[in-house]
Amino acid sequence: MKGQVEILLVEDNPDDAELTLRTLKKHNLGNHVEWVKDGAEALRFIFGNGQPPVGDIHTPRLVLLDLRLPKVDGLEVLQRLKADARTRVIPVVVLTSSTQEQDLQRCYELGANSYVSKPVQFEEFADKVAQLGLYWLLVNKAPGPA
Amino acid sequence: MKRRPAARAGRDPSARDQIAALRARVAEADELLGAFQRGDVDAVVRPGTAGLQIFTLKGADQAYREMVETMSEGAVTLSPEGMVLYCNQRFADLVGHKLEQVIGAPLGRFSAAADGAAIVALLQRAQAGPARESLTLQRADGARVPVYLALRSLAERGVPAIVGVVTDLSELRRAEAAREREHARLRTFIDANIVGVIIVAADGAILEANDYYLRLVGCNREELLQGRVDWRALTPAQWLPADENTLRELRESGRCAPYEKEYQRRDGSRVWVYLADAVLPDSSGEIAAFAVDITDRKHGEAALRDLNATLERRVAQRTAELEAANKELEGFAYSVSHDLRAPLRAVDSFSKIVVDDYADKLGAEGQRLLGTIRRNAQTMGRLIDDILAFSRAGRGELSRVEVDVAALAREVFAELLPAAGQRRIELCVGALPPAQADRAMLRQVLVNLLSNAIKFTTPRDAARIELSGAGDGDGVEYAVRDNGVGFDPAYAHKLFGVFQRLHTADEFPGTGIGLAIVKRIIDKHGGRVWAESQPGHGATFHFALPLAAAPPVTEPA
């Protein structure tokens, strides 16, 4: 049921995806999560097939976005989301293995709401994911869909 | 004049006629008197006892006399045979005799022996009209005086004499000789063929040229003398506009700045010349020009230019290659960062999940083994992070500014201190000179050195870190001294290598990247870093930075 999706997880690595989903579930945040494996799928989920009715889009309450993705990479997904007035307000948290300064820079330029690098150590990783989910879905107050 | 007319008139019957004759004579006398009074008469000649007597009137000929006596030329009156009847003092001076010795002597006596016949001939020519000749006089003291002698006979005027004017040519001859010497010198210079010299007519024809120039343009002298050599024909078309400008400059100012151009020889070969032109004064627009063959120099310059261009191309090529290699490395680092960490995370995370979810089935040993797996995965994660940090350190352009090292050190220390917990650590910062460095990079250096000092003083009850420094005209030098465990100086050379450690991870945690990063940054600043220590007696790390920008030292592989 797409209408109920609260978190869109864009992650090509099934292991990372499993760890993320497991953590979210553990904190009771995993019931309305949609996992897609590449950028193209992510865009299709949000914008549909580009066929009419054009206005029919999905606006999750949070997007967890990896950067290195097959087909359409994370930066492009981010750009598309932030360039469209209807999706601009969706919080996008970049969740990536990259610690590269240029990625960080570019993501903020494109309007990322947060940038989190995935630690190697599981406790750290789980802690970060849990914090993110709790913060963006429970603490943070976002405007309604445009 | 006697007065006898009355007596004669009384005796002569034709008294009227006599009276008339007397009146006529009175009129004649009056007229004569008038002529005297007017100054028309210079002298009166009357028959006397010793022949004709000449009565001159002082005053009447004064001006002429003065002129002759004071003129700067010699004046002489000669008998038709050449005897000196009269001469002025100047003439006597010219021949170096007393005036009275000259008068009455033959003119030939005062001439050089070789000119005797010439004088005889000149006197003869003078009978027929004005005659002139350059001669040499011989003075009484033997000195010879070049003169110009102009003679004219007075026979036409009824006086059997010849007048002459003698002009001293000594000065003229000296000036001529000087001119000739000058000319000879110039000629010597031109014929030395050190440079090409030409004289060009206003229409472009080359009037004169020395051998150097002929060699330069590949013509022979015959062609030149036939007027067949024109500079325009020697000039490649591309240079003609520049030459027109030069000509305009020459017409306007009479000279032009030296310039370079090419000549094209008839065989088609080209030669580079350095030219300087000037319009010759008192000529109909003739131009003198100097030309120097600079072909070798030009070819040298061209070769140098080519070489420079080649070098620049090569440098650009190498730079591009290096940039490409650098980009590749960055891409590699990116891959390492992104792709190597994900599997490690999986290893660590799923190990942890097994430990959590299957604790009862694993037993203590199983848990320990999975713990080892996790520890190694985490260590590898740190190593990857450190490799990335090292590859990033010192990358990019240095932006050198003046940095207050003391303030920066205190700031860094304050940030590091909380991680040290409750330990007693004292930082003493002396009076430090400022550094010319990239602030962010220098900050990294201080972070690494101070955190090392904090780490290796852990066993001390009271840790003490001293930061001192000094500078001179060449640069600045700083030292970070601690009272920690120190290291064995035998291994000092290994300190700054990547992942080199002198302590085990059990003693002190760390991967051994911090000092490698320090060295990389200091190298990039053109500076130097070294350390000294005795085990158990603390360590001192020094780093020196040049004041001015020095070329970065290539890091040894």
In B, minimum Cα distance to A99 occurs at: B337
Q: Which residues of B362-496 form beta strands (DSSP E)?
A: 400-403, 424-429, 435-438, 462-471, 475-482
Flag whether pLDDT at B214 surpasses 50: yes
pLDDT of residue B469: 93
pLDDT of residue A17: 94
pLDDT of residue B62: 73
Residue A35 forms beta bridges with which residues?
A: A9
Q: What share of chain A is helix, strand, coil (3-state, %, to 5)?
A: 40, 15, 45
> What is the rounded average pLDDT of the residues B485-508?
82
Element (H, E) at B275: strand B270-279
Pairing relationship of beta strands B475-482 and B462-471 according to DSSP bridges: antiparallel
Q: How do residues B88-107 score in pLDDT, each as one tens digit?
A: 999 999 989 998 888 889 98
Question: Tokens standing for A128?
Answer: 């970060």
Q: Could you tell me which residue, A49 or B173, shows the higher pLDDT?
A: B173
How far away is chain A from the Cα of B417, in angstroms, using its nearest Cα? 23
Of B111, B77, B76, B78, the closest CA to residue B91 belongs to B76
B179-188, B253-262, B525-534, B541-550: range with lowest mean pLDDT: B541-550
Q: How do residues A87-146 score in pLDDT, each as one tens digit?
A: 999 999 999 887 777 889 999 999 999 999 898 899 999 999 999 999 999 898 877 654
Question: Tokens standing for B557?
Answer: 């592989």
Of B97, B93, B75, the closest CA to residue B167 belongs to B75
pLDDT of residue B218: 87
> What is the rounded average pLDDT of the residues A12-31?
91
Beta-carbon separation of B345 and A22 below 8 A: no
How far away is chain A from the Cα of B492, in angstroms, using its nearest Cα? 32
The ipTM of this complex is 0.83
> What is the rounded average pLDDT of the residues B58-80?
81
Residues of B in contact with A97 (CB under 8 A): 337-339, 341-342, 345
Element (H, E) at B263: strand B259-264
Q: Could you tell me which residue, B400 or A9, shows the higher pLDDT?
A: A9
Query: Do the Cβ atoms of B488 and B502 come closer than 8 Å?
Result: yes
> What is the rounded average pLDDT of the residues B475-496?
89
pLDDT of residue B184: 92
Residues of A in contact with B353 (CB under 8 A): 22, 122
Beta-carbon separation of A98 and B381 below 8 A: no
Pairwise CA distance, residues B167 & B72, whole Å: 8
Q: Among partner residues A97, A99, A123, which is closest to B342 by beta-carbon distance?
A: A97
Residues of A in contact with B338 (CB under 8 A): 67-68, 96-98
Flag whether pLDDT at B63 surpasses 60: yes
In B, minimum Cα distance to A98 occurs at: B338
B376-390, B495-509, B531-545: range with lowest mean pLDDT: B495-509
Residue B44 forms beta bridges with which residues?
A: B55
> What is the rounded average pLDDT of the residues B242-253?
86
Residue B309, SS3?
Answer: helix
**Residue B269 DSSP code:** -
Residues of B in contact with A15 (CB under 8 A): 342-343, 345-346, 349-350
User: Does B334 contact chain A (CB < 8 Å)?
Assistant: yes
Residue B54 forms beta bridges with which residues?
A: B45
Of A50, A51, A48, A100, the closest CA to residue A74 belongs to A100
Count Cβ neighbours within 10 Å for each residue of B184-199 and write b for 16 or more, e otherwise.
eeeeeebeeeebbbbe
pLDDT of residue B154: 86
Beta-carbon separation of A120 and B338 below 8 A: no
Of B397, B487, B403, B489, the closest CA to residue B446 belongs to B403
Of B276, B259, B271, the closest CA to residue B299 belongs to B271
Q: Which residue has the tokens 């995993």?
A: A30
Question: Tokens standing for B280?
Answer: 């010759």
| Residue at B263: amino acid letter | Y
Residues of B in contact with A74 (CB under 8 A): none
pLDDT of residue B255: 82
Query: Do the Cβ atoms of B256 and B246 come closer than 8 Å?
Result: yes
In A, minimum Cα distance to B331 occurs at: A100
Q: How do residues B408-417 score in pLDDT, each as one tens digit?
A: 999 999 999 8
Q: How do residues B459-469 score in pLDDT, each as one tens digit?
A: 888 899 999 99
Question: CA angle B338-B340-B346, nearest 5°?
Answer: 100
A14 CB neighbour count, 10 Å cutoff: 11
Pairwise CA distance, residues B358 & B370, whole Å: 11
- Average pLDDT over chain B reads 85
pLDDT band per the 50, 70, 90 thresholds, residue B40: low
In B, minimum Cα distance to A101 occurs at: B392
pLDDT band per the 50, 70, 90 thresholds, residue B479: very high
> What is the rounded average pLDDT of the residues B296-317?
92
Count Cβ neighbours within 10 Å for each residue of B58-76 and write b for 16 or more, e otherwise.
eeeeeeeeeebeeeebbbb
pLDDT of residue B444: 92
Residues of A in contact with B342 (CB under 8 A): 13, 15-16, 97, 118
pLDDT of residue B512: 82
Who contacts B9 (Cβ-Cβ below 8 Å, separation ≥6)?
A: B15, B18, B19, B22
Flag whether pLDDT at A74 surpasses 70: yes
Element (H, E) at B540: strand B539-546
Question: Tokens standing for A73?
Answer: 């990479």
Q: Where are the alpha helices (DSSP H) in chain A?
A: 14-26, 39-47, 74-83, 101-109, 122-134
Flag whether pLDDT at B115 surpasses 50: yes
DSSP secondary structure string for all residues of B362-396: HHHHHHHHHHHHHHHHHHHHHHHHHHHHHHHTT-S
Query: What proportion of chain A, given as a percentage, has pLDDT over 90?
Result: 59
Residue B262, SS3?
Answer: strand
Pairwise CA distance, residues B192 & B211, whole Å: 9
B227: left (phi over 0), alpha (psi -120 to 50) or beta: left
Pairwise CA distance, residues B266 & B233, whole Å: 9
pLDDT of residue B548: 66
| Residue at B42: amino acid letter | D
Query: Do the Cβ atoms of B166 and B91 come closer than 8 Å?
Result: yes
